C-alpha cells in the first residue's frame, strides 16, 4: 500500500468503477460495489474507500489509482 489517495480522485475512481461494474453480468467487483452502496445507503462519505484516512479501503480503487497515477 502506498500513500493516501486524494478524496476527489478516490471518489472519481469509485464512480468510474461502479459504472464499469454495472455493465457486467457477474463478478466479485460488481458484488463488492453493490454491497458497499447497499450498506452505505448512497452516503458518499461512508463508502468503503473512505473507511480510513488514506482512502485506501477499496482494492478496486487502489488498483485503478496505482495503475493510473503511479508510474
Torsion of CA 31, 20, 1, 57, to 10 degrees: -40
pLDDT of residue 1: 57
d(CA 23, CA 6): 26
pLDDT of residue 10: 95
Using the predicted structure, report yes or no on whether residue 71 has a pLDDT greater than 70.
Answer: no
Closest C-alpha among 8, 10, 31 to residue 21: 31
d(CA 5, CA 66): 9
How confident is the model over 14-37, as a mean pLDDT?
Answer: 94
pLDDT of residue 14: 95
Q: What percent of the chain has pLDDT over 70?
A: 97
Amino acid at each position: 500500500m502506498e500513500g493516501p489517495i486524494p478524496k476527489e480522485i478516490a471518489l472519481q475512481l469509485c464512480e468510474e468503477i461502479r459504472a464499469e461494474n454495472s455493465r457486467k453480468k457477474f463478478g466479485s467487483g460488481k458484488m463488492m460495489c453493490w454491497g458497499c452502496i447497499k450498506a452505505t445507503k448512497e452516503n458518499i462519505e461512508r463508502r468503503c474507500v473512505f473507511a480510513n484516512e488514506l482512502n485506501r479501503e477499496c482494492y478496486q480503487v487502489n488498483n485503478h489509482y496505482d495503475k493510473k497515477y503511479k508510474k
